[in-house]
Amino acid sequence: MNAPDEVHIASFVLQHRAGALQALRAAVAAEPALELAIASDTRSVVVCETADRYQVMDLVDRLRELPGVLNVLLVHHHAEPADALDEPVSPPIASGASA
């Protein structure tokens, strides 16, 4: 079960036919939870932000059903309480490693 007021952030890599990019762009534009982060002829990256982990998987299924989409890979999924996103981020602590 989802905790109340959770935020789920996920990213997907899509493999698709060259002619499918226009339909992919339209499908992503029609879904407020999705953003097309990187688009190319045969591979694209889509970012997702929802309040429900089940919606993340529903969106994966819907993207897979698009004509010309060959595969949708869930690359990353992170969930945390929504109010945690409003908290300030502390600066990173130096590890002592040189760059």
Interval 10-67: pLDDT, tens: 999 999 999 999 999 999 999 999 999 999 999 999 999 999 889 999 999 999 999 9
Closest CA to 3 of 64, 62, 83, 67: 83
Q: With CA atoms as reference, report the closest residue to 66 among 11, 26, 24.
A: 24
Q: How far is CA 65 from CA 1, 39, 79, 92, in A?
A: 26, 18, 25, 41
Q: Whole-model pTM?
A: 0.80
- Domains of the chain (ranges, CATH numbers): 6-81 (3.30.70.920)
Which pLDDT does position 34 carry in this prediction? Answer: 97
pLDDT of residue 84: 76
Answer with the residue of higher pLDDT: 85 or 41: 41
pLDDT at 98: 61
